[in-house]
Structure 1
């Protein structure tokens, strides 16, 4: 299963999710990216592409605004794949509290294979 984590800049939330779950669950393939071209450029991080959205079996976003941003560029093509983890942008990369939030939301919302 291909799993894509998205946040605004791919600095803290989505990058932490990719690193954490890649180490914990090597049976799945994890990637991450940001949805703001400006922030990804400023932070030299990965910007989400339509190819990434196509690649993913499941797309986890952190906020409702991320769903709206994807919808703005791709209309409703990927909405069935998107799950909102509802994790605010208040954490730093690999913050234990962020990992705890990711674990709780991810396993509760991960669709059955």
Structure 2
């Protein structure tokens, strides 16, 4: 079982979409969170240590993750998906983009 964590800023659109899309795959557990303090689900250290693979939507998210949670990162791979905040929740274009960019890591 692989634990996948998806992170964006607010946990409103991109990361919850990713969680919903990949939650149906067998062999993976999925979670999502936001890096901002006012995120719907703010990222906590337990999520970081739980994850085998961490996907962030933008480069700035990787930087912020490293700043805020460096001591909780235990060699997990952090993958920048390069998906801007231009999509609504479950936008079909976002779903397809996520599937395309995450597939090589599954």
Specify if TM > 0.5: yes
The answer for the alignment partner of 1:21 in structure 2 is 22
For structure 1, the 5+ residue unaligned runs are none
For structure 2, the 5+ residue unaligned runs are none
C-alpha distance in structure 2 between counterparts of 1:29 and 1:51, whole Å:
14
Specify which of 53, 61, 83 is matched with residue 66 of structure 1. Answer: 61
Give SS of 2:19's match: helix
Specify which of 75, 87, 91 is matched with residue 87 of structure 2. Answer: 91
**What is the aligned length?**
104
Structure (1 or 2) with the greater helix fraction = 1
C-alpha distance in structure 2 between counterparts of 1:47 and 1:26, whole Å:
26
What is the RMSD of the two structures over their aligned residues, measured on CA atoms? 1.5
How far does residue 54 in structure 1 lie from its aligned partner after superposition? Answer: 0.1
For residues 35-63 of structure 1, the C-alpha deviation after alignment (integer angstroms, 9 at most, x for no partner) is 0012x1xxxx2110111000000000000
C-alpha distance in structure 2 between counterparts of 1:76 and 1:4, whole Å:
17
C-alpha distance in structure 1 between counterparts of 2:37 and 2:97, whole Å:
26
The answer for the alignment partner of 2:52 in structure 1 is 57
C-alpha distance in structure 2 between counterparts of 1:10 and 1:26, whole Å:
23
TM-score relative to the length of structure 2 = 0.90
C-alpha distance in structure 1 between counterparts of 2:17 and 2:57, whole Å:
12
| Residues 21-40 of structure 1 mapped to structure 2, 5 A cutoff | 21-23=22-24, 25-38=25-38, 40=39
C-alpha distance in structure 2 between counterparts of 1:53 and 1:92, whole Å:
25
